[in-house]
Amino acid sequence: MASPSNAHKGKMVLTKTPYTKKLSNGDVYPIYINKETGKCYLKRVSKKTGKEYNQGLSEEESKAVAAKMGIPYTYKGRKK
């Protein structure tokens, strides 16, 4: 049985924020944040496969949203 601290191991838990991002094509997406790292994402759907994926926002955008939400930004990059 997995311990509670490992319950979400390998899966990000994203929380919807009250903020949105408008892309250059005019589409508007809600911003989601990982409360553990402060990294922000958009949930998008691939036109080719139809699958949902998380598109990460830039470090500057993530830091700005995390600061507004009162969440420390501790993201160190992808684990290898």
DSSP assignment of the chain: ---GGGTTTTS--EEEEEEEEE-TTS-EEEEEEETTT--EEEEEE-TTT--EEEEEPPHHHHHHHHHHHT----------
Phi, psi torsion values for 42, nearest 5 degrees: -110, 140
Q: pLDDT tens, 26-75? A: 999 999 999 999 999 999 999 999 999 999 999 999 999 999 999 999 99
Q: What is the pTM of this model?
A: 0.82
Cβ–Cβ under 8 Å, residues 52 and 43: yes
> Are residues 31 and 17 in contact, defined by beta-carbon separation less than 8 angstroms?
yes
pLDDT above 90 (res 5): no
